[in-house]
Structure 1
């Protein structure tokens, strides 16, 4: 009887023990999983000192290297246009023909006038030669001899005057053919055949622009020039005035040409506070045309031993302070506050808080807990750019 009463209690005790054991087993497995979790995988980059060129991308306008307006030097009716509009022309090439009949007639008249005074010179010279022979025998007065000498001098002056007049008439005849003053590309003809060409007209016959090399006039803030000079004096940056200037389209695409900075203007625009910098660009394929809006990447200094990290490596706290996750030799991650400079090719220049040779996390910072061991994988900039 006693044995039968004890059996249910024993069974309950056994079941209770089994239940407690069953509840405790999952808790033990969870703890074990936490303790044995693998380290977070991150991509890292070892920072090495580099030499970088700092540039300012500034707006600019293209201007022709030389511009010449074709204007007549004599008046008359235009008979012919001797060039193709928009074509390349050479200096001295005939561009327009003005009716030259009147100028030819004037040349003929000047030739006749020259012959007349030359004949007068021959006559005066003969008289002088005879008077010179008679002077020793006193067969002629001294006054007559002086008059003969003066007539020769007068005749020679008349000949010189007639020669100058003929030369001027020949120039007018030559000017009837209007020629290109410079080599370059023509625009449209502004005057058609049959029009009256006038020396006093305000409208040119056409315009020629030399664009095998061009100028790009860039607007640079005057404050930036002061900063560049100060950085150069302090030794932070080396002079970059001799470095080539890249020319970029408004869309951001770089043109296959480079230029060199010639000079900065000596005055500041009071309206914009900027200074004009003129850049000379070789333009053999005529890619850049006068009036085009472009952007010029102006080198303003060379920085040596600069430490650069990709932009995605930088994280910020709620206050906006820049930070980097640095991995030490034991694969432990640590959050570090750093100072940032400018962006060069999608990378920040780190000015403080980082040493050369240290390893920073580029991707996966959210998985790298402070003082936690991480699984570091080398970062590939090429792969990251391809993914972007």
Structure 2
């Protein structure tokens, strides 16, 4: 029994010694490989995406809200009083210039025309009679059988008769105009709205309310307000040859939801008076509207130029990092491919690109992606930065 236990103990000890020997044999081979891997990892450079800064022309815009108004608006009002017999248009339709819209009962005006014609005929007859009398008295005066006083009276009577004819003719013209105004026409081409008076209604000349409203909608006005200081900066830049003339500058239009409108507007008018309450000026933008997508009263946004940078240095927004105090920095790639953090002064943000006012120069290479790996003095392995494809509608 004791002999069996001895054999078992020796067997266990032998197995343990063999295991220790195997571990000691493997250790010298694994040690150098692990150290080599660690050294290789330490020597590998950080992989980052970089961009070389190049100067380019940047226009900074203000997105300003504004209300749409019609290019021209005509309030249809009667020039004579009377009962409306007919409405000659379809509400909401397009009308042309001089198209008849309403018909006021013309019978009273036609009667006035006939009366005025009769008065003119009587005045012409009186003129003829006065002319004949004048000619007879003039002949008698030449033969010294009529006095000079009689000739003077004849001349005065003739002049009075001619004046009566002129007055009667003017009165007839007025009555004919009133008859013509019994048919109310549109002064402009455009879209007409609701008929504010119907058949049987009384149209009154000089009434405060219109009979209908016609608006020209193929082009519209968008009135926006811009701070006067920003407008002054733009005008100075334009005066220094950094852009085109202020009038006629194209303007991108955005809907109230931020979607771009398919047609550009154009600045047509800039007010010369600053609002003392707000310190802003009114800018009028003309916007094409060929398909009547826009209507008066809508709110839109206009990207009005605020300032122009002819040789701006820009970097993507994601390239800017901040230190512990919140100051902006860029990671610049040095000549030896090492990273260095450099403080910069940021300008406006335009299309997700920061304008850099100071801190870098043209031709320098900055890190856009991988700044967390590009600490101060880190060796860098650079690849060209590729901007992400934007799928959101701007």
Calculate the TM-score normalised by the size of structure 2: 0.87
- State the Cα deviation string for residues 90-141 of structure 1 (Å, max 9, x = none): 2211110000000000100110111111111111111111112121221222
- 1:288-299 to structure 2, matched below 5 A, reads 288-299=294-305
- How much is the aligned-residue C-alpha RMSD, in angstroms? 2.7
* Residue 94 (str. 1) matches residue 100 (str. 2): yes
Q: 1:240 to 1:150 in 2, by over 3 A?
A: closer
* Residue 211 (str. 1) matches residue 206 (str. 2): no
Tell me how far apart the structure 2 counterparts of residues 140 and 51 of structure 1 sit (CA, whole Å).
97
- Who is 2:130 aligned against? 124
- Who is 1:46 aligned against? 52
- Who is 1:56 aligned against? 62
- Who is 1:36 aligned against? 40
How far is the alpha carbon of 1:216 from its aligned partner?
Answer: 0.9
Q: 1:325 aligns with which of 325, 331, 336?
A: 331
- 1:1-388 to structure 2, matched below 5 A, reads 26=30, 28-37=32-41, 38-228=44-234, 238=243, 241=246, 242-381=248-387, 383-385=388-390
Tell me how far apart the structure 2 counterparts of residues 143 and 97 of structure 1 sit (CA, whole Å).
56
- State the Cα deviation string for residues 258-292 of structure 1 (Å, max 9, x = none): 22223333444455443222222233333321111
> In structure 1, the residue corresponding to 2:64 is in which secondary structure?
strand
Q: Is the 8 A contact 1:77 1:197 kept in 2?
A: yes
> In structure 1, the residue corresponding to 2:312 is in which secondary structure?
strand
Query: Alignment length, in residue pairs?
Result: 375
Q: Is the 8 A contact 1:43 1:363 kept in 2?
A: yes
Q: 1:367 to 1:199 in 2, by over 3 A?
A: same
Tell me how far apart the structure 1 counterparts of residues 308 and 232 of structure 2 sit (CA, whole Å).
16
Q: Is the 8 A contact 1:316 1:323 kept in 2?
A: yes
Q: Is the 8 A contact 2:333 2:366 kept in 1?
A: yes
Q: 1:181 to 1:169 in 2, by over 3 A?
A: same
Tell me how far apart the structure 2 counterparts of residues 386 and 76 of structure 1 sit (CA, whole Å).
62
Tell me how far apart the structure 2 counterparts of residues 145 and 22 of structure 1 sit (CA, whole Å).
154
> In structure 1, the residue corresponding to 2:262 is in which secondary structure?
strand
**Greater mean alpha carbon deviation, residues 57-66 or residues 33-42:** 33-42
Q: Is the 8 A contact 2:233 2:306 kept in 1?
A: no
Calculate the TM-score normalised by the size of structure 1: 0.88
How far is the alpha carbon of 1:238 from its aligned partner?
Answer: 4.9
Tell me how far apart the structure 2 counterparts of residues 112 and 329 of structure 1 sit (CA, whole Å).
105
Tell me how far apart the structure 1 counterparts of residues 22 and 198 of structure 2 sit (CA, whole Å).
113
Q: Is the 8 A contact 1:240 1:299 kept in 2?
A: no
Q: Is the 8 A contact 2:234 2:305 kept in 1?
A: no
> In structure 2, the residue corresponding to 1:305 is in which secondary structure?
strand
- State the Cα deviation string for residues 50-91 of structure 1 (Å, max 9, x = none): 111111111111111121110001000001111121122222
How far is the alpha carbon of 1:34 from its aligned partner?
Answer: 2.5
How far is the alpha carbon of 1:23 from its aligned partner?
Answer: 5.7
Question: Gapped runs of 5+ residues in structure 1?
Answer: 1-11
Q: Is the 8 A contact 1:240 1:302 kept in 2?
A: no
Q: 1:176 to 1:15 in 2, by over 3 A?
A: closer
Q: 1:301 to 1:189 in 2, by over 3 A?
A: same
Q: Is the 8 A contact 1:211 1:283 kept in 2?
A: yes
